[in-house]
Amino acid sequence: MNRDVIGTDRAVSPLIGAILLLAILMTMLALLQLNAVPALVSEAEFNHNQRVQGEMRDVAAGIDRSVAIGTSQSIALTPGVRYQSRLFLLNPPPATGTVRTGKPENVTIDGAYAHGETGDYWNGSLKRLTTQPLIYTPHYNEYRNPPQTIYELGTVYNRVGETMVVTDGHQIVDGRTITLTTARGAVSNTGVDRTLLEIRPSSTETRTVLVSGTKSKPLTLEIPTELTKTQWNDILKNDSHVTNYECSATEQADEPCERLTITLERDVTYEMQLARVGIGGRSVTQPPMYLTDIEGANASLPAGGRQRLVTEVRDEFDNPVSGVSVEANVSSGPGTVSPVEQASGTDGRTAFVYETPDDISTVRDVTVVAEFGGNDKEQADKARVEFTLQVWGESGDEKETDDDQGPPEHAGPPTDSDGEDELDDEEEPGNRGESSWDRGRPFSFEPGLS
């Protein structure tokens, strides 16, 4: 055999082996690219989605903090995901996500009655509050059918098709407490990297108002929701004060409600707290809605005496509005009234001083009217309060007065034909309606109310 031929064969053998080895490696890389990389990318996207769900729960907690303490909050959201670099393997481009606010929808409160000057506003008529959901939608490369994560009225839930899964939230009705925090904003952010979502309080949970329905008209709440009646059954089943709840869109228990109407037990007093936040840096000062008396009503003073009168301007969420000019004058009876402040402070309050003339010789009734402007005719009665006072002179003690008869009560809930109040017979009218905040005292719970 020719030695040259044998040498050539020996030289070709390592080359063929190297080509085969390279082919095997390329095949393995191709298999990894086709199978392992998508699996690793899908895992990264799934883990990212879990993190974003936690961030949306942080948004809910931030909204609660914002309305509780009255300060802005910045919550981090990471809408997209970047993949880990891999030697010799190719990743898809980073996946993006979208954070946006949904369309505005109404929350309605009907049949809520309060006593005192607050009863001018909470008079049982239908009240509408506008709110928007915050929606996160991922745009993943490999994770199929990822959920949308939605914050709505204090609840965070995931939506996959027609299926909803609640991940976090508090009850709107909890015993005798009604808590509603609405959100407004214009957010639309699609991206990959971390961004800060600004939450600013527009109306904080500063005041609690006591409201109730009547025997003829119960207090009802109607809210937008994509949860099913079955899920609401789990949320509300342990609340004895909820007498009924119905979905507007469907009779099927496993289909989204769209709108849920909650009917509360009649003749029960509820502590209602309302608030609003602005999402995405939007914070709009709420306009004044009504005026209520805080101090000085039904006072009795001698000739030459002075009485401090305090009003509070509130928005539609029952929280104070600052910077509103309130004027007061004596509409009937003797005396003068002068302002202490020109406009309402951060607590919404404006103070006046009523002075009695020195020459009063008999018992006289005095009415002082305080009001703010800018309201239409429909709101005129809500933008004013009346202080009824009684003054007397040296000979006033000789005039017979009925000490047992208190001042006439302000119009409250409707009455039956026999004139009896329709509220709970076991509770005194003075204990219903406004909270003790409305009278300028710290709020305290009464036994049995919670």
Is the distance from CB of 347 to CB of 310 less than 8 angstroms?
Answer: no
Lowest mean pLDDT, pick from 4-8, 36-40, 238-242, 419-423: 419-423
Based on the number of CB atoms within 10 Å of its own CB, is 425 exposed (0-12), middle (13-18) or buried (19 or more)?
A: exposed
Distance of alpha carbon 179 from alpha carbon 193, whole angstroms: 34
Of the chain, the percentage scoring pLDDT greater than 90 comes to: 57
Is the distance from CB of 363 to CB of 399 less than 8 angstroms?
Answer: yes
Q: How far is CA 224 from CA 150, 200, 243, 262, 277, in A?
A: 13, 22, 19, 11, 17
DSSP secondary structure of 396-423: GGGS---TT--PPPPP-S-B-TTS-B-S
DSSP secondary structure of 308-352: EEEEEEE-TTS-B--S--EEEEEEESS-EEEES-SS--TTSEEEE
Strand, helix or coil at 177? Answer: strand
Closest Cα partner for 150 from 162, 139, 129, 164?
Answer: 164
Q: Is the pLDDT of residue 403 over 50?
A: no
pLDDT at residue 430 in the model:
37
pLDDT at residue 248 in the model:
84
pLDDT, one tens digit per residue, over 202-259 is 999 889 999 999 989 999 999 999 888 888 888 887 788 999 988 987 667 778 888 9
**DSSP code for 111:** S
Q: Rounded to two decimals, what is the model's pTM?
A: 0.78
pLDDT at residue 308 in the model:
96
pLDDT at residue 419 in the model:
39
Which domains does the chain show, CATH number per domain? 43-83+92-279 (no CATH), 290-439 (2.60.40.10)
Distance of alpha carbon 110 from alpha carbon 224, whole angstroms: 15
Q: Is the pLDDT of residue 411 over 70?
A: no
Q: Is the pLDDT of residue 443 over 50?
A: no
Structure tokens at 47: 């883990």
Closest Cα partner for 61 from 174, 181, 177?
Answer: 181
Q: Is the pLDDT of residue 442 over 50?
A: no
DSSP secondary structure of 248-274: SS-S-TTSEEEEEEEEEPTT--EEEEE
